Structure 1
Amino acid sequence: MEKISAIARLSQLNRQLGYKLLVIVAMALAFAYGLVPLYDVLCRVTGLNGKTENVAVSAQSRVDTSRWVEVSFTSNVMPGLAWSFHPVQSSIRVHPGKIETVTFIARNMANETVAGQAVPSVSPGKASEYFKKIECFCFQRQDLKAGESREMPLRFYVSPDIPDDVKALTLSYAFYSAIK
């Protein structure tokens, strides 16, 4: 009788441990899920990692025609994504406040439809809060059919509030494979 009682007690303890472990796993998943938006907010507030705010503008802001800012464009395709991706022009000179449009070309080199997501970064970091994207392919996942090429426009402006000592900035895109 004591043997059955001990087995029942051990079984009850194992169930309790299993429930506790399930709660810990659920909490860890919720914590990991919550880190992404927290990281985005931190980057947006601090300019960390060159993240910029997605900005929609109803009217063009004031244009500072007294100065120029050189904006360079770079691109990378991360391993696992069979794409080629590059800007049509490597740089442009802009007047702060003037809305500009540049184009990037993406091509799927795979024999199947592949989805990708672009992640932007602006350097120097202090310039990131002054780089405002109005329309960008990076706002959503991009699906390209096998062999398909696509022009991807980027509409942006550099805020006229950018410090005078920032005369050049670089916008880099890294394209990652996106889960379907």
Structure 2
Amino acid sequence: MNKNGKTIGLLSVVVVAMVGLSFAAVPLYRMFCEATGFNGTTQRADAGATHTVNRIVEVRFNSNVSPELPWKFGPEERSVKVKLGETRLTSFFAQNLSGEDITGVARYNVTPEKVGKYFVKTQCFCFDDQRLEARQRVDMPVYFFVDPDFASDPDMADVNVITLSYTFFRARTSQAASDGFRARAPQTAQIAAPAAPVASSASR
């Protein structure tokens, strides 16, 4: 192979590598945010905390809808007070105001952003795309807890209020539209309640 051929081959490898990295960048960034709580990204878990701590925080709920999505969306309650480690159920509603079936996707974060690594959801409508039929309204539960380790972090000493925010956007792909949430209005999404946390001596 001559010099020009080697150069072309090398450039081809570089181009392929750059394309691969561009596709990997988004999921890698998402994984980084979920692992560190960066930018207010919350955590996910399969079960609740193993113990509770006698410190109470207030969790407020905020909702937004992208202008391109003809939905109504909001929390059933504006705020709740929870003990650290306590698994709590809250609920949101969504209604498709249009005459066509639409799939939406929710993006979420918490503020202050530093709380993200301690705010854990075990079940949430935001884990999957949600498909609503024309004029359909659904209730969407969320199970969450605040990690008991929150209490031992000096950076959290000044935090007594946490705001959980959701913004719904219109899903972009036809695949998302076919894989979404298909409930019959009006009804509640079927989400199994997580096991109750085991109380420790700190919570008695």
Q: TM-score range by the shorter chain?
A: 0.7 to 0.9
Q: How many Å separate the matches in 1 of 2:160 and 2:123? A: 23
C-alpha distance in structure 2 between counterparts of 1:49 and 1:78, whole Å? 20
Q: Secondary structure of the equivalent of 1:95?
A: strand
Matched residue, 1:177: 170
Q: Identify the match of residue 62 of structure 1 among 48, 51, 56.
A: 51
Residues 110 and 166 of structure 1: CA distance in aligned 2, closer, same or farther (over 3 Å): same
> Deviation at 1:32?
2.1
Identity of aligned residues (%): 39
Q: Confirm or deny that 1:91 pairs with 2:79.
A: yes
Q: TM-score, normalised by structure 2?
A: 0.72
Instruction: Show the counterpart of 1:79.
Output: 67
The CA distance in 2 between the partners of 1:136 and 1:70, in whole Å, is: 19
- Pairs aligned (count): 163
Match of 2:134 among 146, 149, 158: 146
When normalised by structure 1's length, the TM-score is: 0.81
Q: Secondary structure at the match of 1:89?
A: coil
Tell me if structure 2 keeps the 8 A contact 1:47–1:125: yes
| Greater shift in the superposed pair: 88-97 or 44-53 | 44-53
Where structure 2 has 5 or more consecutive residues not aligned to the other structure, the ranges are 1-7, 151-155, 175-204
SS of aligned partner of 1:37? helix
Q: Is the 2:49–2:147 contact (alpha carbons within 8 Å) kept by the matching residues of 1?
A: no
Structure 1 residue 25, shift from structure 2 partner: 6.4
Distance in 2 between the 1:146 and 1:81 partners? 13
Aligned partner (choices 101, 105, 109) of residue 121 of structure 1: 109
The DSSP-based 3-state class of the residue aligned with 1:127 is helix
Return the offset for 1:26: 5.1
State how far apart, in whole Å, the 2-side matches of 1:94 and 1:154 are: 14
Q: Which runs of 5+ in 1 are unaligned?
A: 1-16
Q: Per-residue CA shift, 1:110-168, capped at 9, x if unaligned?
A: 11110011111011111111111010000101000000000000001111111343211
1:67-126 CA distances to partner (integer Å, 9 max, x unpaired)? 210000001111211111100111110011111100000001111110011111011111
| CA distance 1:32–1:160, shift in 2 (3 Å) | same
Aligned with 1:112: secondary structure?
Answer: coil
- Which amino acid letter does the alignment assign opposite residue 168 of structure 1? V
Cα 1:112–1:123 shift into 2, 3 Å: same
Distance in 2 separating the partners of 1:148 and 1:125: 33
Q: Would the aligned equivalents of 1:61 and 1:98 in 2 still touch at CA under 8 Å?
A: no
Deviation at 1:45, TM superposition (A): 3.2
The two structures, once aligned, show a CA RMSD in angstroms of 2.3
